Amino acid sequence: MVIKGLKGVAAAETAISHIDGVNGQLIYRGIDAGDLTKNHSFEEVSYLLWHGEWPDQHQLIQLKNELKKQRGLPDYIENLLISLPAEMDFMSVLRTAVSAAGPANKEKPSYSDAIRLTAMMPTIIAYRKSHLEGRAFVRPSAELDHVENYLYMLNGKRPSESQCKALETYMILTMEHGMNASTFSARVTVSTESDIYSAVTSAIGTMKGPLHGGAPSEVIAFLDEAAKSADIEKLIREKLNRGERLMGFGHRVYKTHDPRAVALKTVLLENAGKDAWLDLSMKVETTAVNLLQELKPGRSLYTNVEFYAAAIMKSIQMESELFTPTFTASRVVGWTAHVLEQVENNTIFRPESEYIGRLPVK
């Protein structure tokens, strides 16, 4: 029997994260991911995902220093980033650069590879962006931590504390999400004893598809439409009556509130203060949830991570072409944690297929 899309099939044992779709909980290494965003940094949570425990002070400083050291790109990658055609989308550029950064010879995946891949992702994005805009690249600053430095390289100035907090919360919440398609892809690649750069290259190619890394840009389009509408309820009702899906609502696993959406909304409320876009988002959420309950009874449809990710991106003036690359820059932590877990106790992924073609004529 074929289980299409491997729905409901457990493909690996993992101690990295757990999704409780019924109770709306996402757990990283035994800790509620929503709680993690309150007092922890990108670096601390990365360490937790990679090692299964919190770093002590010394380990944290070591990790921060290592990430800073590994941010620079070799000259040939910088040259590659300016030679790829301007019309090539960001995810394809990222995939190509990561592939080119891999070692000449196959090496066993290591923690230092995970750090280097995580460190270089924002630099690749910012370097390519500055090239496309025809301006000088703002080199990484050794003064700044990972998330702050990313915004600094993109905008050429230090971000405000609230911008930093907004992006850091988003990046922590999207680092890891169980056996999603790109993580599976990374694990399949490394299960052949291939290298970690190949695994992350596969994962980026998988993430690129609209059914997976599907950017919150579609939510922005929906909210832009709502902003222009004189009657939001009528707009949403008509959409639902036409059988359209509301972008940023519903989830395959969560049948209650997506905890990532809840945490993102909380940080927006705490940091953004009075914000027209946030007000609009909350109005659309309330109206849509009520209408979904009325028109799709029993389906348990609430906002998902993409809905408030759109508001986060707006609040830090991130352009929509960078949404999925930024998601990738955080998910690389989860991918590399899974690669390291896979190689610890590896069995090559080699499922069967059910032949439905013709047989030889006797």
Q: Say which of 131, 146, 177, 251 is annotated catalytic.
A: 251
Binding status of residue 195 toward ligand CMC by CB under 6 A: no
Single-letter residue type at 55: P
Contact 341, 16 (CB under 8 A): yes
Binding status of residue 250 toward ligand CMC by CB under 6 A: yes
- By beta-carbon proximity to ligand CMC, the closer residue of 109 and 259 is 259
Binding status of residue 245 toward ligand CMC by CB under 6 A: yes
In angstroms, the first-to-last Cα distance of the chain is 27
d(CA 138, CA 118): 19
d(CA 67, CA 27): 25
Q: Say which of 78, 148, 176, 306 is annotated catalytic.
A: 306
Binding status of residue 91 toward ligand CMC by CB under 6 A: no
- By beta-carbon proximity to ligand CMC, the closer residue of 206 and 304 is 304
Number of residues that bind ligand CMC (CB under 6 A): 15
Binding status of residue 215 toward ligand CMC by CB under 6 A: no
d(CA 202, CA 190): 10
Sign of CA dihedral 140, 143, 145, 149: negative
Query: Near ligand CMC by CB under 6 A, which window of 6-14, 25-33, 131-139, 299-307?
Result: 299-307
Among 202, 304, 328, 336, binds ligand CMC (CB under 6 A): 304
**Is residue 177 flagged as an active site residue?**
no
d(CA 331, CA 118): 9
Query: Near ligand CMC by CB under 6 A, which window of 15-23, 52-60, 96-104, 241-249?
Result: 241-249
Query: Near ligand CMC by CB under 6 A, which window of 159-167, 198-206, 249-257, 339-347?
Result: 249-257
Query: Near ligand CMC by CB under 6 A, which window of 46-54, 85-93, 246-254, 353-361?
Result: 246-254
d(CA 351, CA 120): 34
Among 181, 214, 257, 349, binds ligand CMC (CB under 6 A): 214
Binding status of residue 299 toward ligand CMC by CB under 6 A: yes
- By beta-carbon proximity to ligand CMC, the closer residue of 306 and 341 is 306
**How many Cβ atoms are within 10 Å of 191's Cβ, its own excluded?**
18
Among 306, 313, 314, 332, binds ligand CMC (CB under 6 A): 306
Contact 303, 285 (CB under 8 A): yes
Pick the closest to residue 170 from 300, 340, 307, 56 (CA basis). 307
**Is residue 251 flagged as an active site residue?**
yes
Write the DSSP string, 38-106: HH--HHHHHHHHHHSS---HHHHHHHHHHHHHT-S--HHHHHHHHHS-TTS-HHHHHHHHHHHHS-SS-
What residues numbered 331-360 form the site for ligand CMC, per CB under 6 A? Answer: none
- What are 131's two structure tokens? 């090239």
- By beta-carbon proximity to ligand CMC, the closer residue of 25 and 99 is 25
Binding status of residue 247 toward ligand CMC by CB under 6 A: yes
CB of 292 to ligand CMC, least distance (A): 6
Q: Which residues are catalytic?
A: 251, 306
